[in-house]
Amino acid sequence: MNRRGQETLSTNQVLWITFAMLPIGTSIFPRTMNQYAGQSGWIFVLLSTLLVLLISRILFMLVSKYPGLSFLEILQYVLGKWLAYLVTFLSMFVLILYSGLGVRGLANELIVYLLPHTPTSVIIIPALLLLLYTINKGIGTIARLNEIVQPILLIGFIALGLLVINKADFANLLPILPEKISFLDASLYSFYPFLLLIFLLPFMFAHFPTQKGMWKGIAVGICLIGFVFLLFLVFSISVFGTVELLYIEFPSIDLARMIMFPFLERMEIVYMVIWIPVALTLHSVTVYICSEGFNQLFPRWSFLAWSMINTIFIGIVALLPDDIEQVVEFSKYLLLYSIVIWVLFIPLLVLWDAWKNKGKSSG
């Protein structure tokens, strides 16, 4: 089995690489969440953040019992070889789908705001080549890149909120519980900020150091993801209102367009200039873990070979949707599958492991 997983990360790198799992759909999240929950969307996001913290802690407790093992090896011990291989294969397959949709979403944003009339493939192919180059430099390089890029992103998001606060009417957040709330849809969609985290985090543990600071890095990273989505949701509703927000395709980018500087007429360009490298660092983590997972499942093919194969399939997936609406529709199916894995599979896996160990100790 490939032992690339022995390369570990510092606690600070754990924090920022966890935050890097913030999904690309940040720019469209406020519109859809507003559609389901109106001005109460922030409550659902807050609750989902707390639940993800709890389940992540449960998962951390399981992985801590098997220091030095990859998640595939832990699954083999708990579930047996074939079930472990099936779970890992499905997880890697979902990562390919997610990466393809994420790259397509980024391409759509670039076409709308920066490169109108540009063929989608002209944007996607260079992005994939850059991803292929980055992931073959190793997880250490990816982590160091995230240490630089992600704090800039976080500062940029906070600055965006501060610069539009004078245009916000926080009365738009009232009443806290409006009459029309789709509780089921809002509850499910509130997990969207953690869609990628669900599949990446278990397979990232092999790279995280076995020290107490690891959980601190993970927890802070998860809280920062929740904070960013809360920030955009609250300001989108406060600035645009719940009615107008239903008709805005990319609310976070439109927030940037409202900022006026004498020497910068199009602030959305600045937003995209920051967001593009962030999106690529996110997908570098995704494609790296996906390639590593397939390399562990089928070690006869090298990591480089799997990274090339995965990049090709990601490109195919990215070109399949006709428009951004289809990207959103496909993402909903991934989200539902993710929630099943996160809310049901992980706790059941921990309970099954505890039951097996108890049986062995009793025997």
pLDDT band, residue 274 (cuts 50/70/90)? confident
Identify whether 361 is part of a domain.
no
Q: What pLDDT is attached to residue 5?
A: 43
Task: Tell me the CATH number at 246.
Answer: 1.20.1740.10
CA quadruple 318, 322, 326, 330: dihedral sign: negative
Range of the domain at 113: 4-352
222 domain-assigned: yes
The pLDDT tens digits of the residues spanning 3-28 come to: 444 567 888 888 999 998 887 767 78
Is position 95 within any domain? Answer: yes
Question: Do the domain assignments include residue 296?
Answer: yes
Distance between CA atoms of residues 36 and 257, nearest Å: 25
- 306-319: string of b/e by CB count within 10 Å (b at 16+)? bbeebbeebbebbe
What is the arithmetic mean of pLDDT over 258-267? Answer: 68
Please indicate, yes or no, if residue 358 is contained in any of the structural domains. Answer: no
- The answer to whether position 363 is within a domain reads no
**Is residue 317 in a domain?**
yes
Number of folded domains that form the chain: 1
**pTM of the entire structure?**
0.87
Q: Which residues, 6+ apart, have CB-to-CB distance to 218 below 8 Å?
A: 14, 15, 18, 56, 60, 201, 208
Q: What is the pLDDT of residues 32-41, one digit of tens each?
A: 899 999 899 9
Looking at residue 7, its pLDDT comes to: 65
103-127 pLDDT, tens digit per residue, is: 887 888 788 777 788 888 888 898 8
Could you give the 3-state DSSP secondary structure of residue 58? helix
In a domain, 254, yes or no: yes
* pLDDT score, position 223: 94
Q: Kindly report, residue by residue over 276-321, the tens digit of the pLDDT.
A: 777 778 788 889 999 999 999 999 999 999 999 999 999 998 888 7
Average pLDDT, the chain: 84
What's the confidence (pLDDT) of residue 265? 65
